[in-house]
Each structure stands twice: as structure tokens, then as C-alpha cells.
């Protein structure tokens, strides 16, 4: 059986920077309130004028990743695209990426597991490569969430958190089973789906919702914040431990942990639990907010650019989010 390894990373974030002070102009909030609860200082929002969408940003991140992989677009065999904010309700955005990149009629698969999307996407791509079905797979996470969040005081608990952006990696086949993706671990618990969800519009309740008055909030994302936080710190830890035990290593062996950038307080809790030094964890939520399926992909790309990831490093990716879904990926770089 083959193994898969990352040979190229890339990311793109919109140029429009929205600071906490910017939000405070229209929302009853302050920079200190947001930073204290989330660690976020600013985030990026996609520009309608520039035509920035989940798919177009994904393409920009993908082009960088493919170039860094030393490949041509025609050498990509398959696309796995993770997003909760596709350009269309259907078809999925993977086919738009295939088209905008000018690729041949390769397959494109969409993953809808929200904050865990990139973890799930890596796992899917890893299995396709391990079985020998494909050699080079483009894995992308991209979000344009600023268009549907409630930017008023009513929705500030969600509105101050989320940002836009895209990240991508290229996975390729290797026969060296000591390098690359060592293991992936995926979980879900659907009974808590509505504790972090956007429930309308949906196919059974579409135009009625659109035509309703403003007091219907089901077309805005909802989060049971404290409940989600408590589950997140537990599931993050479980997913990391599962990956470490599978590969017979300990937290001391981790060279870099890249958690999903949901909330800096969650990352700090996990860091303390595993007694990780600052050099062993990577956070960029301060700059970008929560970019959902794109967050780990963007962080991984930045970490590689900054020299935080070196050959033979043990890199752990972990996420928790809506669904609830959670998981981890353990990589020997």
C-alpha cells in the first residue's frame, strides 16, 4: 500500500481587513471584549467588487500550492474541496475549481463537515492515494462567510468571530511509509447538530424563510457558545490523543500542533493540557478569525512559509466543529 505526503501548500486571504474597532462602529462591542473572549484582533472579508467567493479564493490558494509542489495543473488527478459557504447551493464548488483552473475532466468531491472539513478532506484524499487510485490530489479549504453573518448587535456572538480565506495542499503518492500522512481519525455526534448550525433556508422551507420578516433569525448562523466550547476542548484532546496513541508517540514528540482556529482560548486550553511549549503550537486566529474549513489549511501554509515545519517533523492537525464533527491528522513531514 502506498502512503501520501504533502508536497505543496498555499493560501489566499482577502485584502480587506476588518478590525475589532471597525466592527464596534456598527455593533455594541469593543476591541477588548472581542480579544478577551476569542483572541481575535482582525479578520479578512471577501470583496464582492473583486468577485471574491469561496471558489475564486480556493483557486488562488490552489495555484500557489500546485506551483510549490513543482507540478503542472494537468498532473492533478482529483480535487477534494471543503467548504460550508459554496458559491451555489448546488452544484458543489469543487467543479468550479476544476473549471477555473482549466483542468481536464478530473473528479471533484465536496466535503461539508464545516470546521472539520479540511481534516475530513485530507483523510479522503489520503485513502484515495493509499489504495493507488490517484497519485496527485489537490485538497482545498475555502470560506466566504462574511456575506451571511449577522453584522448587528443582535448577532455579535457570531458576527465577530468569522472571517474569509482559502488554503490548499497537494498530496502525492510515496512508497516511504515512514513519511507523510501517518494516520487520520474522524468522528461525529449529530445529536448536537443544532447547537452550531444555520438551519434555513433549506429545501423544505425555502421561499417562506426568504420572505419572512426580520424577526426570523433561522437564516443566520446560531451557536450555543458555552456548550460548544466545553465539547470542543474535550473532543480536541481526544482526537489528539487518539492520533498519538495510534502512532506510539507522545505530546513531547509533537514538533507542531496546528489546531482549527475556532477560538484562541480553546487552543490555549489544549496547549496547557498537553504541556506544549509555544514553539509546538501554531495560531493565527488573531489575524484571520475563524475561517472554518480554511483555517487549518491557511495555518499550515503559513507555518511552512515561516519555517516552522521542517523535514522529519511530527505535525498534528486537529479540529472540532459543527455537526458536531471532529478529527485529527498525524503527519511525518
Instruction: Record the cell numbers describing residue 56, joined without a space.
Output: 475564486
Residue from 3, 263, 284, 290 carrying the catalytic annotation: 290
Distance CA 61, CA 142 (A): 9
3-state secondary structure at position 111: strand
Residue from 3, 260, 263, 284 carrying the catalytic annotation: 260
Residue from 115, 136, 185, 231 carrying the catalytic annotation: 115
- Cell 477534494 identifies what position? 80
Residue 246 CB partners (closer than 8 Å, separation 6+): 182, 183, 185, 330
The answer to whether the CB of 232 falls within 8 A of the CB of 239 is no
Query: Is-catalytic flag, 290?
Result: yes
3-state secondary structure at position 204: coil
Instruction: Record the cell numbers describing residue 216, joined without a space.
Output: 426570523
Distance CA 284, CA 11 (A): 13
The answer to whether the CB of 273 falls within 8 A of the CB of 237 is yes
Q: Write the CA distances from 289 to 26, 72, 304, integer angstroms.
A: 18, 32, 20
Distance CA 192, CA 232 (A): 12
Name beta bridge partners: 152: none
Torsion 153-154-155-161 (CA) sign: positive
Residue 32 CB partners (closer than 8 Å, separation 6+): none
Number of other residues whose CB lies within 10 A of the CB of residue 255: 16
**Any idea what DSSP says for residue 265?**
H
Query: Is-catalytic flag, 260?
Result: yes
| Helical H segments across 101-224, by residue range | 117-130, 156-159, 207-211
Distance CA 17, CA 209 (A): 31
Active site residues: 115, 260, 290
Amino acid at each position: 500500500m502506498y502512503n501520501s505526503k504533502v508536497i505543496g501548500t498555499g493560501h489566499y486571504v482577502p485584502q480587506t481587513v476588518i478590525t475589532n474597532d471597525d466592527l464596534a462602529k456598527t455593533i455594541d462591542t469593543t476591541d477588548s471584549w472581542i480579544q478577551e473572549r476569542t483572541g481575535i484582533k482582525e479578520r479578512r472579508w471577501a470583496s464582492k467588487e473583486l468577485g471574491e467567493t469561496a471558489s475564486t479564493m480556493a483557486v488562488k490558494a490552489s495555484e500557489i500550492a500546485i506551483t510549490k509542489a513543482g507540478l503542472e495543473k494537468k498532473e492533478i488527478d482529483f480535487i477534494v474541496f471543503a467548504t460550508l459557504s459554496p458559491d451555489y447551493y448546488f452544484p458543489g464548488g469543487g467543479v468550479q475549481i476544476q473549471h477555473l483552473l482549466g483542468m481536464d475532466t478530473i473528479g471533484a468531491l465536496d466535503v461539508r463537515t464545516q470546521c472539520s472539513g479540511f481534516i475530513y478532506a485530507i483523510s479522503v484524499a489520503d485513502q484515495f492515494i493509499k489504495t493507488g487510485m490517484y497519485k496527485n490530489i489537490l485538497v482545498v479549504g475555502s470560506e466566504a462567510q462574511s456575506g451571511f453573518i449577522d453584522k448587528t448587535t443582535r448577532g455579535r456572538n457570531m458576527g465577530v468571530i468569522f472571517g474569509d480565506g482559502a488554503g490548499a495542499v497537494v498530496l502525492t503518492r510515496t512508497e516511504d511509509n515512514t513519511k507523510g500522512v501517518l494516520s487520520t481519525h474522524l468522528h461525529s455526534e449529530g445529536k448536537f447538530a443544532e447547537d452550531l448550525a444555520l438551519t434555513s433556508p433549506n429545501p423544505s422551507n425555502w421561499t417562506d424563510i426568504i420572505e419572512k420578516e426580520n424577526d426570523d433569525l433561522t437564516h443566520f448562523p446560531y451557536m450555543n457558545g458555552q456548550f460548544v466550547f466545553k465539547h470542543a476542548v474535550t473532543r480536541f484532546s481526544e482526537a489528539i490523543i487518539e492520533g498519538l496513541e495510534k502512532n506510539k508517540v507522545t505530546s513531547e514528540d509533537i514538533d507542531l500542533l496546528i489546531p482549527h482556529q475556532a477560538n484562541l482560548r480553546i487552543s490555549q486550553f489544549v496547549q496547557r493540557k498537553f504541556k506544549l511549549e509555544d514553539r509546538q503550537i501554531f495560531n493565527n486566529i488573531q489575524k484571520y478569525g475563524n475561517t472554518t474549513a480554511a483555517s487549518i489549511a491557511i495555518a499550515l501554509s503559513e507555518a511552512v512559509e515561516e519555517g516552522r515545519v521542517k523535514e522529519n517533523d511530527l505535525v498534528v492537525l486537529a479540529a472540532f466543529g459543527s455537526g458536531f464533527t471532529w478529527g485529527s491528522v498525524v503527519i511525518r513531514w
